Copies of this chain bind each other. A is one copy, B any other.
């Protein structure tokens, strides 16, 4: 499978390295084709690794992972533009607004979600919200936790969600809950209101939730 990772930050690097280690072709996208972080990553990554603009990276991929700060998400998908048409677009972003300090407020929530805004901005993309609910190191290696935990998908395209579920499974996620349409992202982004406070209370980002259900 060929992937694009839009974003050169720590989460983007973790995802790109993981996908490369799994044997996939990976293009890292940045605003400029000569972005230092992306070109350095591609050089170190070998022949299956490439770097390019957001649009160049997306154009060659079957599945595109959006791994940028929430405040840049809409500009990035708009920059990728038509290259996202028909593509599975995994939205990992969170609309965190740190302008008033920590814990952040959400810049979008309750009656809308960033994922819905992204889907509206690139209507021909098949957006699936996922992996925004846990720290980057746990996205790519949930086995660092001593028990299985839960991750989620939400999106309007059933086949796209199956593609993302298969990706999640291949990365080690054993329980994936489908929250329905892309508006389910309101719940997944809303979780950040609690996650950020748990991060403060627990003193670590290396945690996730495990859903425990009554039997029978």
Interface residues of A (CB under 8 A from B): 103, 105-106, 109-111, 138, 144-147, 149, 177-180, 184, 186-198, 200-202, 204, 206-215
Contacts and interface: CB of A to CB of B under 8 A. Distances in A.
B110 A193 contact: yes
Given A103-B187, A190-B190, A207-B213, 16 more contacts: A103-B186, A109-B190, A146-B214, A147-B212, A187-B194, A187-B196, A187-B197, A190-B194, A191-B191, A191-B193, A193-B193, A202-B213, A204-B213, A209-B209, A209-B210, A209-B211
A212 B145 contact: yes
A209 B209 CA distance: 6
Contact of A213 (B111, B179, B196, B206): B206
Contacts of A147: 210, 212
A53 to B, nearest CB: 34
- A138, A145, A177, A201: residue with the most chain B Cβ atoms closer than 10 Å: A201
A128 B80 CA distance: 47
A204 B216 CA distance: 11
A199 to B, nearest CB: 10
A206 B214 contact: yes
Contact of A111 (B105, B179, B189): B105
6 contacts: A188-B194, A190-B191, A190-B194, A191-B193, A207-B214, A209-B209
Contact of A187 (B187, B193, B211): B193
Contact of A177 (B111, B179, B202): B202
Contacts of A138: 214
B214 A198 contact: no
Contacts of A210: 147, 209-212
